[in-house]
Homo-oligomer: A and B are copies of this chain.
Amino acid sequence: MAVSGQPAGSWSEVRDELRSRGLRWTPQRRMILDVLAATQGHVTSSEIVERCRERDPETTPSTVYRTLDLLEELGYLKHSHGADGREEFHVLPETEHGHLTCERCGRSWEMEPQEASDLVRALERSRGFSVDVSHLTIAGQCTECSTRSSAPSRPRCRLSFRVKRT
């Protein structure tokens, strides 16, 4: 993975990969990669659009979405889904990991692949199904929320648009 830890400016790996496939190295793609390099943890596409806009207000959302798709196809990114179903990109997938998210407090944690290894092996054996661990998001309740009583047993983890009031 070249995206991580590169001094913004030496995107030669990605650039060459694109060119070698007959794809193109554009200023837009360069900027998106710069933004990704400055990002840690999980980000949604729209957060990336926002960050691009901070650098260049002219940023076109669809260009960003399409570039993210491409980078994922090329293996530079992976995504999973938050409890609300929205895609979240793993910007620095040094190590493969799954995800845990608490339906009540909304916090989330990364999960070592070995934590899911029993499940992975069981499904492999019984069904020949091979789990995509990095796409995996397991929802539930964290310790703290379970201990802290008073709870709707399964509150809906819905999308929510924070309406931007001007």
B-binding residues in A (CB < 8 A) = 69, 72-73, 75, 78-79, 81, 83, 85-87, 100, 102-103, 109, 115-116, 118-119, 122-123, 126-132, 135-136, 138-143, 146, 152-158
**Contact B156–A129 (Cβ < 8 Å):** no
Partner of A135, one of B116, B139, B142: B139
* Copies of the chain in the assembly: 2
Q: Which residues of B contact A143 (CB under 8 A)?
A: 127-129
Which of A118, A131, A140: most chain B Cβ within 10 A?
A: A140
**Contact B132–A103 (Cβ < 8 Å):** yes
**Contact A73–B157 (Cβ < 8 Å):** no
**Contact B135–A130 (Cβ < 8 Å):** no
Q: Which residues of B contact A154 (CB under 8 A)?
A: 75, 78, 132, 135
**Contact B130–A146 (Cβ < 8 Å):** yes
A72, B157: Cα distance in complex, Å: 11
**Contact A100–B115 (Cβ < 8 Å):** no
A72, B130: Cα distance in complex, Å: 31
A87, B156: Cα distance in complex, Å: 11
If A69-B158, A116-B119 are given as contacts, then 5 extra A-B residue pairs at C-beta distance below 8 Å, sorted by A number, are: A100-B129, A118-B119, A123-B140, A128-B146, A131-B140
Chain B min CB distance to A75 (Å)? 8
**Contact B118–A135 (Cβ < 8 Å):** no
Chain B min CB distance to A114 (Å)? 10
Q: Which residues of B contact A116 (CB under 8 A)?
A: 119
**Contact A142–B129 (Cβ < 8 Å):** yes
